[in-house]
Structure 1
């Protein structure tokens, strides 16, 4: 049996149809793709967050749009009860093409997102505390990562100067991440990366359940290889 492990698939958001077609082609040849094409297809569009919310996961409030302009941003601020929002691509990765607007610094009248998108309230905890990543292998917690933005930025990705450090979650925080994992409509995931952020009430909410990009922060989880190897071997057996 052959197995393909996804690696550095960080431009799939610009070629989603081609990317998914390639995975389906591999699967049709009897090659195991991990995570499987049906998982990738579901996970490629961030509208899956609505399904997670319906299944009981704590999520960040969001409005989903086929495209967005200045009027949509203003409407989102009113409906979400905030003066500060972030607009993200529904099919996107790495914070690319992301925008932040405030009531005092709105988009220009002619601005358009140009992609299917979601609009969420900006959460100050991303600057004050950072974002948390929980890495699971074969359904079991492997390690945690705390990601903080560079000074005068809010994006936590290293591309923008973000800093990453090992993180040992509390029992409560880990339970919150496990609840998101349990809410996923799939079993037998080789890996899952649950990215979460602190809400004003102190609870963690899922920002992304990353099942595509396999960057699982080995620097912060030195036992990752020892966990992944037998899990892959089991699928090859």
Structure 2
């Protein structure tokens, strides 16, 4: 008898007849990596839209927050659904409490207070042209990046320079964060460290396409194998240990290098991160083992 494990997605990432997101192939790669390893462990991986009625989750022991990549536009609805699943006796990984904390990037302030090295950031309820130029003055730089506080995948993100400022009537229109642009993102890329059940699994070096700074595949970004040197891996472990939750099934630590040479945390992704199975050949087995351990 197999144990059913849900893999939450959204209509834009699930296979079907409709048009899919440009990065939906990552959903396919992850499912392809997980399904056989899960089957070997007596687990059946079931893909479904997170908006599916509760009765479609009947008989599932656990749900994983796989590629629910539209949650950032509906965070309250998403968290409410996870709480409802939990109330019906289904284990949610990662838990609604983790999702609440991790869904707003202001969690980076918590990590900084716990000793983590972060990118200098201005936190604003909104941003306009004046805020952008003010941030450039504040950071002593000619280029900044403006991000949503609740966002994912680089969507709704902007990069401005003093030579290419936003229009006079532009505004972000939502709570946001402004950071100095890090040249290392283009020069060497961003580094990802994947942890399963608190243990390091594998590393990834993510590079941006020509004339682009965003490293996501939606913008032409690509990944390379990465065997982190001990110092870089210890930086990632420091971030993982600083997390206020000890029960995360999976966590992806994204880091970039500051001008000082030190790695700084960009994200600690514990909601629905892509876990880069092509760079982690043991990902499926490690995740299946961790799930079986949790389910007893």
Q: TM-score of the superposition, structure 2-length normalised?
A: 0.79
One of 230, 241, 246 as aligned partner of 1:171: 230
Q: Which residue of 2 aligns with 1:127?
A: 186
* Matching of residue 214 in structure 1 with residue 273 in structure 2: yes
Q: Which residue of 2 aligns with 1:185?
A: 244
1:21-60 equivalences in 2 (<5 Å)? 21-60=80-119
* 1:185-220 CA distance string (max 9 Å, x none): 000210000000000011100000000113100011
* Matching of residue 72 in structure 1 with residue 134 in structure 2: no
- Show structure 1 runs of 4+ deviating over 3 A: none
* Matching of residue 81 in structure 1 with residue 140 in structure 2: yes
Structure index of larger Rg: 2
Give the distance between the partners of 1:214 and 1:3, measured in 2 at CA.
Answer: 17
3-state SS of paired residue (1:213): coil
3-state SS of paired residue (2:268): strand
Q: Which residue of 2 aligns with 1:159?
A: 218
Q: Which residue of 2 aligns with 1:144?
A: 203
Unaligned ranges ≥5, structure 2 = 1-59
Give the distance between the partners of 2:136 and 2:111, measured in 1 at CA.
Answer: 23
Shift of 1:236: 1.1
Give the distance between the partners of 2:103 and 2:274, measured in 1 at CA.
Answer: 15
3-state SS of paired residue (1:22): helix
Q: Which residue of 1 aligns with 2:174?
A: 115
* 1:106-141 CA distance string (max 9 Å, x none): 111110011110000000000000000000001111
* 1:129-174 CA distance string (max 9 Å, x none): 0000000001111000000000011010011000101100000000
Q: Which residue of 2 aligns with 1:224?
A: 283
* 1:42-73 CA distance string (max 9 Å, x none): 00000000110010000000001111101111
Unaligned ranges ≥5, structure 1 = none
Taking only aligned residues, the RMSD between alpha carbons, in angstroms, comes to 0.9
Give the distance between the partners of 1:180 and 1:128, measured in 2 at CA.
Answer: 23
